[in-house]
Amino acid sequence: MTAFFAWLPNTERADAPTIATAMGSALRVHAGQGAAWWQDGPLVLGVLELGSDHDVASQYAPVVSADGTRLTWLVGEVYEAAGWEGVSATLSRTALFRKRVAEAFDDDPDRTLRRLDGEFVLLQWDRRTRALTVATDRFGSLPVFTATFDGALAVASGVRGVLAASPRAPEPDLDALREAVSYGGFRMGARTNVRGVELMHAASCLCLTAGDGMDASRWWHWKSLPEIKTRKLEATIEELHLRWQQAVQVRLDGVAKPGQTLSGGLDSRAILAEVSRGGAKVNALTYGVPGCDDARYGEMAARAAHANWTFLSLYHGGNPAWLDARLAHVQHTDGLIELGDLMHTEALPWVTSHADALMSGYIGDAVVGPTFNHIKTPDDVLAALPYYGDVLGEPHDVARERAAHMIAALDGAPPRFALFDDKLPQSTNFCHGALWRPWVRLRRPFLSHALFDYAQGIEAVWRGRRDLQAHWLRGRYPALFATIPNQKTGVPVGATPWQLRVAGARRKAARVAQRAASALGVSLPTHARNFTDDARMWRASGVREAIGAILRAPDALHHGAFAPGAVVGVLDNWEREAAAPAQVIGALVVFEHYHKGLGAHLAAARDAARTPWPRRVVPT
Q: What digits encode the pLDDT tens for the residues 298-314?
A: 999 999 999 999 999 99
Answer yes or no: do 148 and 41 share one domain.
Answer: yes
Averaged pLDDT for residues 268-276: 97
pLDDT in tens, 112-153: 999 999 999 999 999 999 999 999 999 999 999 999 988 899
Averaged pLDDT for residues 436-454: 96
**Residue 212's CB: how many other CB atoms inside 10 A?**
14
Answer yes or no: do 214 and 248 share one domain.
Answer: no
Pairing of strands 198-199, 145-149: antiparallel
510 is a domain residue: no
**Residue 411's CB: how many other CB atoms inside 10 A?**
9
Q: Give the H/E segment covering residue 463.
A: helix 460-463
Q: How far apart are the first and last CA of the chain?
A: 27
Packing angle between helix 174-182 and helix 582-608, nearest 10 degrees?
A: 140
69-78, 272-281, 511-520, 586-595: the lowest-pLDDT one: 511-520
Fill in the DSSP letter of residue 445. Answer: G
Where is pLDDT greater, at 423 or 7?
7
Averaged pLDDT for residues 447-460: 95
Answer yes or no: do 320 and 457 share one domain.
Answer: yes
| Percentage with pLDDT > 70 across the chain | 96
502 is a domain residue: no
Q: What is the amino acid identity at position 249?
A: Q
Answer yes or no: do 348 and 455 share one domain.
Answer: yes
Provide the 3-class DSSP secondary structure of residue 155: strand
Provide the 3-class DSSP secondary structure of residue 439: coil
Please identify, among 179, 196, 223, the residue that sits at the C-terminal boundary of a domain: 223
* Alpha-helical regions (H) of 341-395: 348-354, 364-367, 378-384
Answer yes or no: do 180 and 203 share one domain.
Answer: yes
Averaged pLDDT for residues 394-401: 95
**Residue 491's CB: how many other CB atoms inside 10 A?**
18
pLDDT bucket at 464, cuts 50 / 70 / 90: confident
Give residue 507's pLDDT. Answer: 72
State the DSSP string of 306-367: T-EEEEEETTTT-TTHHHHHHHTTTTTTTT-S-TTGGGGGGGHHHHHHH-SEEE--TTHHHH
CATH number of the structural domain spanning residue 152: 3.60.20.10
Q: Are 295 and 266 in contact (CB under 8 A)?
A: no
pLDDT bucket at 577, cuts 50 / 70 / 90: confident
The per-residue pLDDT of the chain, averaged, comes to 93
If one counts the domains in the chain, the total is 3
Answer yes or no: do 240 and 214 share one domain.
Answer: no
Q: Is the pLDDT of residue 201 over 70?
A: yes
Averaged pLDDT for residues 162-189: 94
Provide the 3-class DSSP secondary structure of residue 358: strand
Give residue 327's pLDDT. Answer: 97
Answer yes or no: do 78 and 142 share one domain.
Answer: yes
Angstrom distance (rounded) from CA 547 to CA 26:
26
Give residue 520's pLDDT. Answer: 66
Please identify, among 223, 251, 279, the residue that sits at the C-terminal boundary of a domain: 223
Q: Please state the separation of Cα 557 from the chain's center in Å.
A: 26
Q: Are 392 and 562 in contact (CB under 8 A)?
A: yes
pLDDT bucket at 503, cuts 50 / 70 / 90: confident
Q: Is the pLDDT of residue 413 over 70?
A: yes
pLDDT in tens, 316-336: 888 899 999 999 999 999 999
Provide the 3-class DSSP secondary structure of residue 267: helix
State the DSSP string of 583-614: HHHHHHHHHHHHHHHHHHHHHHHHHHTTSPPP
Give residue 65's pLDDT. Answer: 97
Angstrom distance (rounded) from CA 86 to CA 88:
6
Q: Is the pLDDT of residue 513 over 70?
A: no
472 is a domain residue: yes
403 is a domain residue: no
Give residue 524's pLDDT. Answer: 53
144 is a domain residue: yes
Angstrom distance (rounded) from CA 236 to CA 487:
26
Give residue 525's pLDDT. Answer: 56
Angstrom distance (rounded) from CA 605 to CA 607:
5
Least Cα distance to 153 among 144, 172, 143, 166 occurs for 166
72-81, 114-123, 224-233, 592-601: the lowest-pLDDT one: 224-233
Q: Which residues are CB-neighbours of 68 under 8 A, at least 6 positions away?
A: 127, 620
Fill in the DSSP letter of residue 431. Answer: I
Residue 172 forms beta bridges with which residues? 194
Averaged pLDDT for residues 368-393: 93
Answer yes or no: do 104 and 29 share one domain.
Answer: yes
Give residue 512's pLDDT. Answer: 64
CA atoms within 13 A on the CB side of 574: 28
Order across the sheet with 308-313: list the strands. 308-313, 283-288, 258-261, 357-359, 441-443
pLDDT bucket at 514, cuts 50 / 70 / 90: low
pLDDT bucket at 518, cuts 50 / 70 / 90: low
pLDDT bucket at 511, cuts 50 / 70 / 90: low
10 is a domain residue: yes
Q: Give the H/E segment covering residue 120.
A: strand 116-126
Angstrom distance (rounded) from CA 95 to CA 114:
20
Answer yes or no: do 41 and 93 share one domain.
Answer: yes
Q: Is the pLDDT of residue 53 over 90?
A: yes
Q: Are 47 and 28 in contact (CB under 8 A)?
A: no
**SS3 string of 106-117?**
HHCHHHHHHHEE
- Residue 529 phi/psi, 5-degree rounding, is -75, -45
615 is a domain residue: no
Q: Give the H/E segment covering residue 77.
A: strand 70-81
Q: Are 351 and 386 in contact (CB under 8 A)?
A: no
Q: Is the pLDDT of residue 519 over 70?
A: no
User: Which range marks the domain in which residue 304 is found?
Assistant: 232-371+439-494
CATH number of the structural domain spanning residue 272: 3.40.50.620
6-20, 132-146, 342-356, 565-579: the lowest-pLDDT one: 565-579
- How much is the pTM? 0.95
Q: Are 351 and 259 in contact (CB under 8 A)?
A: yes
Answer yes or no: do 40 and 92 share one domain.
Answer: yes
Rg of the chain over all Cα atoms, to the nearest angstrom: 24
Residue 590 forms beta bridges with which residues? none
Q: Please state the separation of Cα 259 from the chain's center in Å.
A: 17
Answer yes or no: do 174 and 271 share one domain.
Answer: no
Give residue 1's pLDDT. Answer: 67
Please identify, among 158, 191, 223, the residue that sits at the C-terminal boundary of a domain: 223
399 is a domain residue: no
Cα separation values, 355 from 88, 283, 351, 443, Å: 20, 7, 6, 12
Answer yes or no: do 195 and 285 share one domain.
Answer: no
